[in-house]
Amino acid sequence: MDLICIDLEASGLGPQSYPIEVAWKDGLSGEQDAFLIDPATVDGWTYWDEFAEELHGIDMNDLATDGLSAVAAAQRLNQALAGKAVYSDAREFDRFWITRLFDAAGITPEFELRGLEMLLSDAQLIQYRFISRSQLRRHRAANDVDDQLAAIAAVQILQDEQEPSADDS
C-alpha cells in the first residue's frame, strides 16, 4: 500500500500540551521511524498530564534519557518526509503537535499532513473507526501507525469484497 501514516503521542490533550513521541511508516516500502522528544530542550514545555502518561506509558525519565531535541526531531522528520503526503487518523491533534514541534525548532515542515478523509470515503471512514476502536492497547506511536495501516487495508479489502465483479452481471 503506497501510503505513509504518522502518529504522535503528547504530554496531554490540553492547549499547553506538546509532542513527546513521533512515529511514521511507509506502507509500501516498510520504511519507518520512531523517536521520543525531550521537552527539557524547549522553554515552556512543562505541562504534564498523568492520565496521558497512563495511556502511552512514557514517563519523563524516558524522555530525558532517550529523547531528541525539538530541533533534531523536526530535522529528522523533514529529512525523511520532505515533499511527501503523510496521513493521520487524528489530523487536528497531530497538526497541533507538529506545529508546536516545528515552531519550537524554528523550522518549517517540508511535508503535507493530511487526514484520512482525503483518502477514504465516508462509508470507509465509519468502517475504519469501528476497526480502530476495537484495537485496545497501550498507545505508542509506532504501534499506532501499524494499526492505522492495518485498519486502512482492512477497509479497502472490505470495499473490494462488497463491490460487484464483472462476473456478477
- pLDDT of 155 reads 87
What's the CATH number for 4-168?
3.30.420.10
Report the amino acid identity of residue 43. D
Q: Write down the H helix ranges in 33-140.
A: 50-56, 60-66, 70-81, 91-105, 122-133
Coil, strand, or helix at residue 163? Answer: coil
- pLDDT of 129 reads 86
Averages of pLDDT over runs of 10 residues in the chain (169 residues) are 90 95 96 98 97 93 97 98 96 97 98 95 89 69 89 80 57
The domain locations on the chain are: 4-168
Task: Name the residue among 135, 49, 45, 147 with its Cα closest to residue 89.
Answer: 147
- Rounded Cα distance between 153 and 6, Å, is 16
- pLDDT of 138 reads 57
Q: pTM (2 decimals)?
A: 0.87
